[in-house]
Structure 1
Amino acid sequence: MQNGKLWLIIHTVRSGGIHGDTQELVKRLLPIHQANNVDICINGHGHCLEQVSSGDT
C-alpha cells in the first residue's frame, strides 16, 4: 500500500441489513474504493454477517 500500512480501514458502502446501502457513500466512496483496489470492507454495525460481491464492488 502507498501509506506503508498492511491494513486500511474504511466505512462500507454496501449492506444487506435492514438499512440497506448508504447511497451517498455508494456515490462518493465506491469510485475511490475502485481506484485504490480496496480488497475488503468490514462493518459490524448492521447486526448481520454477509459477503457481498458484485461487478462494481
Structure 2
Amino acid sequence: MTLAVTPSASAATYYNLVNGKSGKCMSVEGGGSTANGAKVVQWSPNGGAEQGWDFHARFIET
C-alpha cells in the first residue's frame, strides 16, 4: 500500500494519510477519539480533525 502524506486543512501541524490506490484518508471512527482501541478506517477526505495525524519522533538511529 502506498500512502501520501499531505498537510491537513484542519491544522498546519497535522497531516492527512491518503491511500494511493483508493484516494481515501486514514480516519478515526467516531469523530477522532484518542482513546486506546479507537477504530481506524478509510474514509473520503472531509477536512475533519478525525483525519489529521501528528508525528512525534522518539528515537533517531544512525
TM above 0.5, yes or no, is no
The structure with the greater share of residues assigned to helix is 1
Shorter-normalised TM range: under 0.3
What TM-score results when the alignment is normalised by the length of structure 1?
0.21
TM-score by length of 2: 0.20
- Between 1 and 2, higher relative CO (CA 8 Å, sep ≥ 6) is seen in 1
Structure holding more strand per residue: 2
